[in-house]
Structure 1
Amino acid sequence: MTDQLCAVFIPALVLLLNDAETRKGSPLSEAEVLAIRDGATCIAVPFDVALQMERDRGLRDVIAEDCWSEWQRVRHVMNAPSL
């Protein structure tokens, strides 16, 4: 039996989007988010490896297929000031 493959962004897509929005100084447009996703580096790994990589990173990445709405959901948390 073969493992299902999962795309893992290196670095995490959520970090790339956060960095781009910080540098821009304003919210990214949907076109910008999609362009960043489409230009980002990713690797295909078995699902269990992807889960372990996520655990090791200590943060959950956005789902690439729905990255616009995922980014809208997490962007405020990513940009929240530390306490």
Structure 2
Amino acid sequence: MKEVKDYIPPLVALLIRAEELKESELTQSEVLKIKDSSSYVVVPEDVAMATAENRGYSDIDSENVWEEWQKIRIDIFANDT
């Protein structure tokens, strides 16, 4: 079984909060710094999927954090403008 990084708290939650506190868009270097300094556990993929299901949403893939953040932040902050 493939193992994956399961961030605690989820990266998406950390990035949302960081952008709210900054009151402007995060830069790529800021997103990468948050990812690199965040805590995670390595778990089997099915455990990470069960965690996401219990939480009610999936996290951003840490290997593609910048690209995924660019897509998801549009949906998250669309109602703020």
Superposition TM-score, scaled by structure 1 size = 0.90
Query: How many angstroms apart in 1 are the aligned matches of 2:59 and 2:2?
Result: 18
Letter in 1 for 2:22: K
Offset, 1:80: 3.7
Partner of 1:72: 70
Range 29-38 or range 56-65, more displaced: 56-65
Query: How many angstroms apart in 1 are the aligned matches of 2:17 and 2:46?
Result: 28
Offset, 1:78: 1.9
Structure 1 runs of 4+ with >3 Å offset: none
Paired residues in the alignment total 80
Letter in 2 for 1:27: E
Superposition TM-score, scaled by structure 2 size = 0.92
Letter in 2 for 1:28: L
Q: Which has the higher helix share?
A: 2
Query: How many angstroms apart in 1 are the aligned matches of 2:8 and 2:17?
Result: 14
Question: 3-state DSSP class of the match of 1:79?
Answer: helix
Letter in 2 for 1:67: V
Larger-gyration structure (1/2): 1
Letter in 1 for 2:40: C
Give unpaired runs (5+ residues) of structure 1: none
